[in-house]
Structure 1
Amino acid sequence: MKTVQLKRGKGTDWEYVGPSITLNKPLVLVFGNRFLLEKKGIYEEIKDMFPDGGIVFGSTSGNISANMVNDDSITITAMEFDKTSFEIHTENVLDKKGDDYQTGSNLMKKFSEEDLQFMFLVTDGSFINGSNLTRGFSNAMNNRILVTGGMCADDTRFERTLSSYNENPKEGEIVAIGFYGTSLEVTSAIYGGWTPFGPKRIVTKSDGNMLFELDGLPALELYKNYLGDKAKDLPASALLYPLNVVAQGTKHSIVRSILNIDEEQNAIILAGDIPEKSKVQLMMTNVDNIATASETATRMAMESRKTSPDLAFLVSCIGRKLVLDQRVEEEVEEVLEVVGTDTVLSGFYSYGEIAPFQGEGGCRLHNQTMTITLISEL
C-alpha cells in the first residue's frame, strides 16, 4: 500500500505530510473545515492533483493526519492498494423523506458482496438519524461485513455538514466505500472513557432521536437545570455532558451526544435513537481518561492482527476534542504509541462514530468514543 498525505490551512498552499509520490487510481479522502470545503471549485482543485482518483469529501470538527490534529484546514490522505480494490456508492438522505433505515439498506444493496471485506462510511451529520442508518446497513448485509466510519461535523456550529463523492461537497450525502479482496486485513475497536454520574432517570416520552420527557418531566428543562449557567451555550455545552443510555433488554450501554435542542417542544435532539423506558444518566470525563481510552481502543484493535497495520482510520467525537482542548493531540499520540510510526493515520472529529461493539458483527452508532480501524494487505 502506498500513501500520500497533504494539508492546507486557510490562505496557505498545499503542503506534503511525508513523501510526495505518484499514485495510480487512488482512494482520496478529503477531510476539512466546512467553510473551506464550500469553496467554489474545490472538487476540480483536488481532481487536478489526483486525476484518476476516487475522491471522497467530509466536513469535520478537526482533521487527523500523521501525528497532528488540524483545525480550520483541509487534509488529504490518498491510498493506492497493491491487491485490494474499492467501490464507492452514495445516497442522499434529503431525497428519501426521512426514511434513514431504508436509505442505509438501499445503499448497502448497491454493492456486490463477492469478496467484500470492509466498508467505511462518511455520512451527513445534520439530517441523519444514525441509529436507523446503521440498522439499515447491518440488516441488509445480515451483519456479515465490518462497517466503520463517522458522521460529518461542523465544529461546534451545528449549522450544516457536507460530504460527497467525485463532486463538490453538499448536504445530506451518505458516501459508502467498499473494500474488496481476500488479502485485506481489517480490525476495529471502540472505547469511550466516560463515567456516568447523578440519578438514573427513565425515558417516558421519545420519538426516534427526539427526547421529550424523563420521569414524566420535560427533558430539556431538566437538562438545563443540570447545566446551570452553561445552559446559555446550548447545544455546544451539551457535548461535555452526554447521556448514558441503557435500553430495555440490551447488554450494552450506548452514549448519546446532544446535537441540538427544540425550545418549542422542550425537547432534546440526539445523534441517534433513545427508546422509551431506557435508563439514562449524565456522563463526564477528564483529559487523562480520554487519552487512556484511545490507547485502550488501539490495543483492542491490535489484539488479533496477523500483520502490522499500514493505515489507521481514526474517528473521534467532537465532545472528546472539547475536553482535551489544547491537549487534543494526546489521544492521537496514544494511538501512535501502540501502532508505531510506520502506520499512516487519517481521520476526523465527528458528530457520531460508526462501528460494531467488540466481538459483534454489523455496526452501531456511537458517541463520545474513539473508533479505530486498522488496515493492511497480507
Structure 2
Amino acid sequence: MHSQQITWNLHAGWNPAIEQPEKVALVFYFGTRDALACGTRYHELRKMFPKAHILGCSTGGQINNSDVSDEDVVAAAIRFDSTRLRLVSRQISGASASWDCGEAIGRELSDDELAGVFLLSDGLNVNGSDLVNGLVSAIGSTVPLTGGLAGDGADFNETLVGGDCAPQPRLVVGVGFYGKAIRIGHGSAGGWDLFGPRRQVTRSAGNILFELDGEPALDLYERYLGPEDSKGLPGSALLFPIQVHDAEQPDSAVVRTVLAVDRDRRSMTFAGDVPQGWTAQLMRGNFDRLAEGAADAARQARAGLRSAKDDHQFSILVSCIGRRLLMGQHVSDETEAAGFELGDETLRLGFYSYGEISPHAKSGICELHNQTMTVTSFAEVGG
C-alpha cells in the first residue's frame, strides 16, 4: 500500500502531481460545501484517476496532517498491493429510511473476505444510529465499521456526499476492504466533562427528544444556554452536547449533538438515537481535555492496527464540528496530539463532521458518536 496527499486551492489548482496515477485504486477527498457543490473538483479527480473509486464529502473544515483549513480541498490517492475494494452508494429519502439504507449497503458489501467498511453519509437527513445498526445487521458485529456524517460548517443547510459521482445531498456511500493483507485500526474518544444534574429521557422517538424529566427538552436546553445563545440554535448547541446512557449498562454511554430544533413542538433532533428511559446529562469541554481525547483515539487506532513499523500507514481523522467551534484557534492542538501518537511518517487526512462512526472504545459495538475524535488507520501487510 502507498498513499500520497494532494490539495486544491483557488489559486494553484491541484498540487502536487501523483506518481503512477493509473495504479491508484482509492481516492478520499474533503472540502467545504461551496467548494464541492459545482462538481468540478470531482470531475478533475476522475480525470486524474480514471480507474479509482473516488469518495468524499462536504465538511466543517478539512484536516491536512496537523493543519485545519476552510480553503483547501484535501485528498489522498491510495494504491494497494493485495486488497480488493467495492463501493456501494444509496440515496436516502429521510431519517426514517436510515436502517433500510444501511442494511442495503451492508448486504452488497457483505463477503467472507470483508475486512472493514468506511462509510460517508449525508449529515442532515439521516438517523445515524439506525444507519449504523442497519449496516451492522448485514455485515456482522465483528467487521470494523468507521466513517462519518458530512458537514456544512455551523450552517446546517445542506451536506454533500460523492461516491464515484459528483457530490450531492441525501447520499450514503460505503467502501469495503477485502482480503487478508489489509489491516484496519480504529479509535474514538471525547474529552468532554459532564456537568449539571442527571435527567431522564421521558419522551423521545428515535433521534427526536421531546421531554427530559417530563419537561419540554428545548425549554430546559434554552435555560442552560441563556437568551442570546438560544437565538443561535442549533449551531450554539454544539458547544454543549449531551451524554446519554442506559443506567443498567454503564458502557453504553454515547454523546449526542443537536442537528435541528422545532420551536413549535419544543423538541430537539439529534444525529443519533436518544432512547426513552435512558439518562441524559449536559457536557462541556476544555482545550486540554479535548486534545487528550484526540491523542487517546489515535493510540487506540495505532494499537489495533497490528502492522509492522515499516509498513506504510494512512489515517483518516474525523472530528466533530462542535469541537472545532469550541477550540477556535486552538483546534490544531487536537490534530497535533493525534499526529504525535500516529507518527510524522503517517499521512493524515480528515474532516470536521456532524457525527462520527466507530466501534465503542469500551463495548466494542459500532456506534454513531458525536463530539469525538475518531481515527481510522490503514496498513497492508507486505505493502
CA 1:179–1:359 in structure 2 vs 1: closer, same or farther (change >3 Å)? farther
Is residue 366 of structure 1 aligned with residue 369 of structure 2?
yes
SS of the residue 1:245 aligns to: strand
SS of the residue 1:288 aligns to: helix
Query: Post-superposition shift, 1:56?
Result: 1.1
Instruction: Verify the 8 A CA contact 2:95 2:127 in the aligned structure 1.
Output: no
Equivalent of residue 192 in structure 1, options 187, 190, 193: 190
Taking structure 2 as the reference length, what is the TM-score of the superposition?
0.94
CA 1:112–1:365 in structure 2 vs 1: closer, same or farther (change >3 Å)? closer
Instruction: Verify the 8 A CA contact 2:110 2:138 in the aligned structure 1.
Output: no
Query: Post-superposition shift, 1:42?
Result: 3.4
Equivalent of residue 346 in structure 1, options 340, 349, 365: 349
1:68-217 paired onto structure 2 within 5 Å: 68-94=67-93, 98-217=96-215
Show the counterpart of 1:39.
Answer: 38
Show the counterpart of 2:27.
Answer: 28
Query: Post-superposition shift, 1:307?
Result: 2.2
CA 1:11–1:156 in structure 2 vs 1: closer, same or farther (change >3 Å)? farther
Query: Post-superposition shift, 1:164?
Result: 1.6
Show the counterpart of 1:326.
Answer: 329
SS of the residue 1:72 aligns to: coil
Equivalent of residue 360 in structure 2, options 357, 360, 366: 357
Distance (whole Å) between structure 2 residues aligned to residue 340 and residue 268 of structure 1: 40
Between 2-11 and 254-263, the greater mean CA deviation after superposition: 2-11
Show the counterpart of 1:279.
Answer: 279
Between 337-346 and 294-303, the greater mean CA deviation after superposition: 294-303
Instruction: Verify the 8 A CA contact 1:63 1:349 in the aligned structure 2.
Output: yes
Distance (whole Å) between structure 2 residues aligned to residue 152 and residue 289 of structure 1: 25
Distance (whole Å) between structure 2 residues aligned to residue 67 and residue 270 of structure 1: 29
* Cα root mean square deviation, aligned: 1.6
Instruction: Verify the 8 A CA contact 2:189 2:361 in the aligned structure 1.
Output: no
1:286-325 paired onto structure 2 within 5 Å: 286-304=286-304, 305-308=306-309, 310-325=313-328
Distance (whole Å) between structure 2 residues aligned to residue 264 and residue 164 of structure 1: 34
Unaligned 5+ residue runs, structure 1? Answer: none
Query: Post-superposition shift, 1:22?
Result: 2.0
Alignment coverage as a number of residue pairs? 375
- The residue identity in structure 2 corresponding to 1:310 is Q
Show the counterpart of 2:261.
Answer: 261
Distance (whole Å) between structure 1 residues aligned to residue 284 and residue 364 of structure 2: 28
- The residue identity in structure 1 corresponding to 2:221 is Y
Deviations 1:310-336 (Å, cap 9, x if unpaired)?
111111111111122112122111122
Query: Post-superposition shift, 1:264?
Result: 1.4
